[in-house]
C-alpha cells in the first residue's frame, strides 16, 4: 500500500489560475459556435434579434450555473468531484444515475462534434454542394480513434497538442470576428438593415425558446470541467470561481462577435442551408482562404474533443475505483492513461455517429446535462441544511442556486409539456433503465466472478493493470465520508 505522500505525487496540484482559464476556455470553445448558430436561428423562427438575445442570455445562465456548480469542487477538491458530491449528498443510487447518464450524454456530444469536424474537413472537396454522409462518418470515426491513441500516449502529449490547437482556434475566431465587424461597418445597406429590423420576424413560443436555449447552451457546455479535475488545481477555492468568470466572459464576448459576423455576411436562410457556417462565411468573404478556415475550425473542435475524452475518462476511472463501474475501467497503461475507459467512451460515440442527426444529438446532450445540473443543485441545498458546519471555502449565493434550478426545470419540462418528442421518451427510458443495472450489478454485486474473468482477459489484451493506490483511495474517501 502506498503512503499518502506517494499517492499525491500521481495527481499533483500543478494547474494554476492562468492554465485553468486556458483549459476551461479551450473545452468550451469547440463545435458549439460553428453549429449552434444554425440551431438557435431555427428555434428562434429566424428572428435575428431573438437569436442574439438568446446568445447573451445563455452567457448569463452559464455563468450563474457555473458559479453554483463551482461550490462542489471547492468543497470537495478532488478529481471526479461531481460524482463524489452526489454520492455524499443524495446517495450511491443518484451518483450511479449521474454516471449512467454520462455514459450516454458524453459519447453523444463527442459524436456530434466528430461529425461537425468531419463536415468542415470534407466540405472544401465538394464546392457548391453538400458533402456525402458516408465519407463524413468514416472520417469522424477515424478522428475519434486517433484522439484515443493520442490520449493513450500520456498527459504530456495531450497537453502539448491542446496548447497548439487552442492557439489556432483563438486566431481563427479573432479573424472571423474582426473581419465581420469591419464588413458590417463598411458593408452594404441590406446587411445593416438586418440588424436595424432585428425583431421584425416572427417571435417563437415558449417551447421553441427552450429548444433554442438548449442549442445555445450547448456552445457553452464544458464549464464544469474544472470541478471534474479539482484534484489537480492549485488553490481550487480561489481559482475555480476566478477561472469561471474570466473564461466565460471572454467566451461570451467572442460568441456574440462571431454571430454578428455571420449575420453581417449571411442571411438567416443562408445560415440554415449551410452544413458548415464558417466555411460558407469565408467562401463569401475570401474564397481563397476556405481551406485555412476549415483547418482552423477543425483544430478548434478537435481541441474541445480532446479535453472531453481526457477529463471524462478520469471520471469513469474514479467511479470504477468506487465499484460503480467495471474494475477494468480503473486500470492504467504504462503511460498512466485509463485506456479501457477511453476505449469504452469511443465505442459508444462510434455507435452514435452512424445514424446520427447533428441538431438532434445537441438536444440529447443539452436535455440530459440540465437534468444532471438540477440534481446537483438539489444535492447542494440538501448538504447546506444537512451539514451546515462542513468546510466551504467558497459559498455561492442561494439566489444563484434557485435560479439555476428554475432554468433547469424550464429547459427540461417546457419541451416535454409543450411539444413532446420521441427523443424525450428515449432519454427518460434510458435514465430509468439504470435501475435495472444498479440493483443486480452494483447493489447486490451479481456476476462479479464473470466480470473478473473478463477483466483478466482485457488486462492481458490491453496491457493494463490496476493502480497501486486503489485501496488507499477507498480508505481516504471512507475517512472523508465518516467526518
Q: How far apart are the first and last CA of the chain?
A: 23
- Rounded to an integer, the average pLDDT of 158-177 is 82
Largest CA distance in the chain: 73
Please indicate, yes or no, if residue 347 is contained in any of the structural domains: yes
Does residue 447 sit in helix, strand or coil?
coil
Give alpha helix (H) positions in 90-132: 92-122
Please indicate, yes or no, if residue 318 is contained in any of the structural domains: no
CA distance 311 to 8: 18
pLDDT at 480 over 90: no
Helices and strands in the chain, H and E counts:
21, 2
- Rounded to an integer, the average pLDDT of 14-28 is 81
Chain centroid to CA 464: 27
- Rounded to an integer, the average pLDDT of 285-304 is 78
Residue closest to 40 by CA, chosen among 26, 67, 59: 59
CA distance 128 to 140: 22
Provide the CATH number for the domain around residue 414: 1.20.1740.10
The pairing of strands 331-332 and 465-466 is antiparallel
Please indicate, yes or no, if residue 328 is contained in any of the structural domains: no
Q: Provide Rg for the chain, Cα atoms.
A: 22
Please indicate, yes or no, if residue 453 is contained in any of the structural domains: yes
Number of domains in the chain: 1
8 Å CB contact between 68 and 254: no
Please tell me what DSSP assigns to residue 287: G
Please indicate, yes or no, if residue 396 is contained in any of the structural domains: yes
**Cell 413532446 maps to which residue?**
420
Q: Which of 47-51, 162-166, 178-182, 376-380 has the highest mean pLDDT?
A: 376-380
Chain segment 240-294, per-residue pLDDT in tens: 999 899 989 998 998 888 888 888 888 888 888 776 677 788 888 887 777 777 7
Chain segment 59-113, per-residue pLDDT in tens: 898 888 888 888 888 888 877 788 888 888 888 888 888 888 888 778 877 887 8
Q: Report the pLDDT value the prediction gives residue 479, as an integer from 0 to 100.
A: 35
CA distance 101 to 98: 5
Q: Report the pLDDT value the prediction gives residue 346, as an integer from 0 to 100.
A: 92
Please indicate, yes or no, if residue 345 is contained in any of the structural domains: yes
Residue 25: partners with Cβ closer than 8 Å, 6 or more residues away: 166, 247, 250, 251
9 band by pLDDT with thresholds 50, 70 and 90: very low
Query: Beta-carbon neighbour count of residue 160 at 10 Å?
Result: 11
Please indicate, yes or no, if residue 327 is contained in any of the structural domains: no
Please tell me what DSSP assigns to residue 325: S
475 band by pLDDT with thresholds 50, 70 and 90: very low
Please indicate, yes or no, if residue 322 is contained in any of the structural domains: no
- pTM metric for this prediction: 0.76
Q: Report the pLDDT value the prediction gives residue 142, as an integer from 0 to 100.
A: 92
Q: Which domain holds residue 190?
A: 4-313+333-482
8 Å CB contact between 334 and 463: yes
Residues in a beta bridge with 233: 15
- Which three cell numbers, joined as nine digits, stand for 95? 451518483
Q: Report the pLDDT value the prediction gives residue 201, as an integer from 0 to 100.
A: 65
Query: Beta-carbon neighbour count of residue 470 at 10 Å?
Result: 17
Amino acid at each position: 500500500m502506498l503512503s499518502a505522500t506517494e499517492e499525491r505525487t500521481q495527481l499533483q496540484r500543478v494547474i494554476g489560475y492562468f492554465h485553468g482559464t486556458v483549459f476551461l476556455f479551450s473545452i468550451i470553445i469547440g463545435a458549439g459556435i460553428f453549429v449552434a448558430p444554425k440551431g438557435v436561428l431555427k428555434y428562434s423562427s429566424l428572428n435575428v434579434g431573438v437569436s442574439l438575445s438568446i446568445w447573451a442570455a445563455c452567457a448569463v445562465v452559464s455563468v450563474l450555473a457555473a458559479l453554483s456548480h463551482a461550490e462542489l469542487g471547492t468543497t470537495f477538491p478532488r478529481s471526479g468531484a461531481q460524482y463524489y458530491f452526489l454520492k455524499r449528498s443524495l446517495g450511491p443510487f443518484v451518483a450511479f444515475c449521474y454516471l449512467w447518464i454520462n455514459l450516454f450524454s458524453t459519447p453523444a456530444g463527442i459524436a456530434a462534434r466528430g461529425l461537425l469536424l468531419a463536415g468542415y474537413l470534407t466540405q472544401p472537396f465538394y464546392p457548391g454542394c453538400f458533402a456525402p454522409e458516408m465519407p463524413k462518418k468514416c472520417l469522424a470515426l477515424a478522428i475519434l480513434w486517433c484522439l484515443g491513441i493520442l490520449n493513450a500516449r500520456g498527459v504530456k502529449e495531450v497537453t502539448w497538442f491542446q496548447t497548439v490547437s487552442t492557439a489556432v482556434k483563438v486566431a481563427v475566431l479573432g479573424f472571423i470576428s474582426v473581419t465581420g465587424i469591419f464588413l458590417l461597418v463598411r458593408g452594404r445597406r441590406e446587411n445593416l438593415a438586418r440588424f436595424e429590423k432585428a425583431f421584425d420576424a416572427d417571435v417563437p413560443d415558449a417551447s421553441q425558446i427552450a429548444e433554442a436555449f438548449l442549442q445555445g447552451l450547448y456552445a457553452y457546455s464544458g464549464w464544469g470541467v474544472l470541478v471534474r479535475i479539482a484534484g489537480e488545481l492549485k488553490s481550487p477555492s480561489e481559482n475555480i470561481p476566478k477561472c469561471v468568470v474570466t473564461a466565460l466572459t471572454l467566451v461570451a464576448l467572442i460568441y456574440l462577435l462571431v454571430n454578428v459576423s455571420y449575420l453581417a455576411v449571411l442571411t438567416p436562410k443562408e445560415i440554415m442551408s449551410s452544413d458548415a457556417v464558417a466555411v460558407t462565411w469565408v467562401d463569401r468573404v475570401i474564397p481563397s482562404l476556405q481551406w485555412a478556415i476549415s483547418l482552423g475550425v477543425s483544430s478548434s473542435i478537435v481541441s474541445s474533443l480532446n479535453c472531453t475524452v481526457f477529463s471524462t475518462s478520469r471520471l469513469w476511472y474514479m467511479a470504477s475505483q468506487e465499484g460503480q463501474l467495471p474494475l477494468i475501467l480503473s486500470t492504467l497503461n504504462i503511460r498512466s492513461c485509463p485506456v479501457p475507459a477511453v476505449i469504452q467512451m469511443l465505442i459508444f460515440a462510434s455507435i452514435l455517429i452512424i445514424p446520427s442527426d447533428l441538431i438532434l444529438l445537441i438536444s440529447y446532450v443539452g436535455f440530459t446535462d440540465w437534468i444532471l445540473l438540477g440534481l446537483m443543485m438539489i444535492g447542494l441545498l440538501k448538504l447546506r441544511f444537512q451539514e451546515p458546519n462542513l468546510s466551504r471555502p467558497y459559498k455561492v449565493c442561494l439566489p444563484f442556486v434557485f435560479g439555476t434550478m428554475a432554468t433547469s426545470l424550464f429547459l427540461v419540462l417546457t419541451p416535454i409539456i409543450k411539444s413532446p418528442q420521441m427523443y424525450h421518451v428515449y432519454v427518460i427510458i434510458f435514465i430509468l433503465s439504470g435501475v435495472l443495472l444498479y440493483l443486480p450489478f452494483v447493489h447486490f454485486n451479481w456476476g462479479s466472478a464473470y466480470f473478473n474473468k473478463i477483466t483478466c482477459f482485457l488486462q492481458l489484451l490491453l496491457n493494463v493493470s490496476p493502480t497501486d493506490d486503489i485501496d488507499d483511495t477507498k480508505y481516504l474517501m471512507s475517512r472523508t465520508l465518516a467526518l
